[in-house]
Chain A
Amino acid sequence: MIATTAAAAPVVTTAPPLRLVLVASPDRRVPARAVALGSGADVVLEVTLGHAHPFVELASDLRGARPDVVLVSAGSGETQGVADALEALAVACEGARMPAVLLAVDERMARRLLPATRGAGERIVDVARGRDDAVARLRALRSGGPARPGRVEAEARAHTRVQAQTTLTVDVGEDGASLVLVSPGGALTSLHTALGCGPSVDALVAGGGLDRVRRWIPRAIDAPALLDRVFSRARWPEARPATTLTLAIELALLREAIARLIALAERAGIDVAPLRAAPGVVAGGALARLAPSQTVLVLLDALGPDATTLVSRSVDATIEPLALVTVPAVGRGASVRVADANGVTDERVTRGALFVVRTSGAPRVSVGGEERSVASSLAVGVVVDARGRPLELPPRDAERLPAVARWHAALDALPSEPAS
């Protein structure tokens, strides 16, 4: 079903995320990025110490960046570089409030640097060893309404309690995207970005390139037209797609929001393998408001789970199981056995296949000797994904378009357009 409402006034965004500047030495840049991802802050500028940053240019960049907070992570050999950056910050903030400066440096270095922060600095523990502390400190600096990270983490903990297994919550909304993995023991991997499917959707496209969105659309579309749609969409975050084509763009943007967060996590040195191996995935936010098959397809494409996964969605604090996704190792005679209220179905699996076995009641799936059952019925069914990992799309349009269209058709994710 497609929502038919196209009308919606341009909406001003809610409380903006913290604008963060990272100042880090090359060896500490990666853990500093991980802190930024954990806090949900928007990294507006990254200054790598040791690279040439002329003073005036840096001051000008910092003034343009308008940071709320500056996170410094450096070793004692970089004292002079950090001091230069902080002096440039002081020049940039002439006539304005100095942002908070968090110094993740050793105590001696902090003593030397604190005068340069003009009273706005404080020392925190090293970001590599005390990531959680740094994340908590950054979150505490955010003001202006409830923050996305805390809300999604609370939901993710609830999802794990309900499902009684390690669960990944994937929440994509107008204000950002989040991936939160919670184990029954309480261990937490929490990643957030301000790049969502709302006002920041143009930044999402600018960062990754238009082709990363276009590749998921099962129709030929020229880049200028897609760019117009993306730009207008950024100013109408509440607009809903009224046609199959615009719906396909929405799904592509949601995929890119998740894929970008995963890419940022990899850039921040975070191991994303546990995210892909989670036995349970719960969709939230705008992702959960799609039709069930659309939610499942977007998660399959963007997240690429590599183990048998129960995909659910969370709507109004209720978890609805959507699909049991199996990712069989394709070899000679590979097959999937699905048992449900209607009996037993055996399906042969070929390389590249993606299909759904519709089920009735609580299904049980056997793949390569591994068995998995679900306690309740599934809105979509058992999805068999043998497209391989990592999922690679054909580079040429002539091959890519039919492949992507086939995947959408396999899950009945896009409704057919009425004949005109």
Chain B
Amino acid sequence: MTWTYGDQRASHPLPLAVSSRAAVGQPVRAGDVLASGSVLANGIRVDGARRLGVAPADLARVMRVRVGSEVEGGAILARTGRRFARAVSAPVDGRVLHVRSDGDIELAPVVGRWAVRSVLDGVVTRSSDAEVVVEGAAWALRGIAAYGPDAVGELARVSDASEELVPSRIDVRQQGRILIAGGRAGAEAIARGHACGAAAVVAATVPASGLRMLFGDDVSAHGASGPVDAPTVLCLAGFGTGALPDAVFAPFRALDGVRAAVHTASAALFVFAPETAFAPAAAPPLELAADWGSVRAAAV
């Protein structure tokens, strides 16, 4: 766990039903929308090729709407242009999700919208309906595991090195900020930060039982992206109790108020400060302490 500056790469997996996404080569800033799409309810299967009397492979030829487009109830989905025309129309408002290999059409009502935002200042280097990849220069600090959605905000140091993050230090003035704790952050502090609108909590350690309280019993030691209404937590050193080595924590003193982002999938904190903002020192390796649940710097 050491600060590094250089070209970083962040992959943003996309949910189902992408409506729009950034093109390769497009410059983006952290927080910009990379892709957006629809949240779908359970779909309806509409007779397609059979109803029109065409072969499944020929359905694409007679489709009047593209797969992925949103239609109103009654809209014509496909139509044969013969003298005795046959048509397939949408029974409800929804999105044309998929054309099956047997020629039927899956139509799903739209119940919401989603958006995926960039966690890097940089350029889109890959874009598909499955993921968008952005590459750009930033300071990076890789942690052990991260939970919740990606987050973007300004850094705010709320506890000193080795100090536990206490809930009373958090209030609504930290709305939209990424809270930095040099020691442990418990479930109460994380929940309070989320309630006060903090973008994320970055801490040396987080108790595993606290993560279960926040994210459910299925939470793993390897992190997981969560729903947008969940808190974002980046666990830098481990689980239980522990403190950040000074070589890791000291740069945060110079980075208060600087724009940053937490990338959950890679458990990384990206900080958008110039390369000259600080000189990183080599951090000692961490080790599992002999007691039940703590980590410590090997050299301490």
List A residues at the B interface (Cβ < 8 Å): 6-10, 54-57, 59-60, 63, 83, 87, 90-96, 115-116, 118, 199, 201-203, 206, 221, 223-236, 239, 242-243, 245-246
Contacts and interface: CB of A to CB of B under 8 A. Distances in A.
Contact of A60 (B16, B106, B130, B212): B16
18 contacts: A7-B298, A55-B43, A56-B16, A56-B43, A57-B42, A60-B15, A83-B102, A94-B18, A96-B128, A203-B220, A225-B240, A228-B294, A231-B211, A232-B221, A232-B238, A232-B240, A242-B290, A246-B290
- With a 10 A CB-CB cut-off, give which of B18, B98, B217 has the most chain A CB atoms: B98
Given A91-B97, A231-B221, A235-B238, A56 B42 contact: yes
B40 A56 contact: yes
B289 A6 contact: yes
A230 B288 contact: no
B285 A206 contact: no
A349 B259 CA distance: 71
A125 to B, nearest CB: 24
B287 A231 contact: no
B33 interface: no
Interface in B94-143: 97-98, 100-102, 106, 108, 128-131
A235 B237 CA distance: 10
A59 B100 CA distance: 13
Interface in B214-264: 217-218, 220-222, 238-241
A6 B292 contact: no
A235 B145 contact: yes
Given A202-B222, A227-B207, 12 more contacts: A8-B287, A56-B41, A56-B97, A63-B15, A63-B130, A94-B18, A94-B130, A225-B240, A231-B293, A235-B145, A235-B239, A236-B238
Contacts of B42: 54-57
B89 interface: no
A10 B16 contact: no
B166 interface: no
A242 to B, nearest CB: 4
A371 to B, nearest CB: 46
Contacts of A236: 238, 287-288
A9 B285 contact: yes
Contact of A202 (B43, B129, B220): B220
A92 B16 contact: yes
Interface in B66-118: 97-98, 100-102, 106, 108
Q: Tell me the interface secondary structure of chain A in the complex.
A: helix
A214 to B, nearest CB: 12
Interface of B: 14-16, 18, 40-43, 45, 56, 97-98, 100-102, 106, 108, 128-131, 144-145, 207-209, 211-212, 217-218, 220-222, 238-241, 285-295, 298
A59 B102 CA distance: 18
Given A9-B286, A116-B101, A224-B208, A232 B218 contact: no
A7 B221 contact: no
Contacts of B289: 6
B295 to A, nearest CB: 6
A55 to B, nearest CB: 5
B144 A10 contact: yes
A229 B101 contact: no
B217 A206 contact: yes
Given A7-B298, A224-B207, A234 B221 contact: yes
The list of the 10 closest CB pairs from A to B, nearest first, reads: A228-B293, A95-B129, A228-B240, A95-B130, A95-B128, A54-B42, A224-B209, A234-B221, A96-B130, A7-B287
Contacts of B16: 56, 59-60, 63, 91-92, 94
A118 B98 CA distance: 13
Contacts, number: 148
A78 to B, nearest CB: 16
Given A202-B221, A203-B220, A229 B293 contact: yes
Contacts of A60: 15-16
B287 to A, nearest CB: 4
Nearest to B218: A206
A6 B40 contact: no
B209 A233 contact: no
Contact of A55 (B106, B218, B221, B290): B106
Contacts of B217: 206
Contacts of A234: 220-222
A63 B14 CA distance: 9
A35 to B, nearest CB: 25
Nearest to A114: B101
Contacts of A228: 207-209, 239-241, 292-294
A90 B102 CA distance: 13
Nearest to A226: B292
Nearest to A95: B129
A153 to B, nearest CB: 28
A246 to B, nearest CB: 6
Contacts of B131: 95-96
A233 B102 CA distance: 49
Contact of B292 (A8, A83, A221, A239): A221
B220 A206 contact: yes
Contacts of B287: 6-8, 236, 239
Contacts of A8: 287-288
Nearest to A5: B287
Given A6-B289, A63-B15, A83-B102, A199 B208 contact: no
A98 B101 CA distance: 15
A6 B97 contact: no
Contacts of A94: 16, 18, 129-130
A1 B144 CA distance: 31
Contacts of B241: 228
B49 to A, nearest CB: 12
Nearest to A233: B288
A230 B290 CA distance: 13
B89 to A, nearest CB: 20
- With a 10 A CB-CB cut-off, give which of A226, A229, A246 has the most chain B CB atoms: A229
Contacts of A57: 42
B290 A6 contact: yes
A332 B10 CA distance: 70
B130 A87 contact: no
Nearest to B1: A10
Contact of B98 (A87, A229, A231, A235): A87
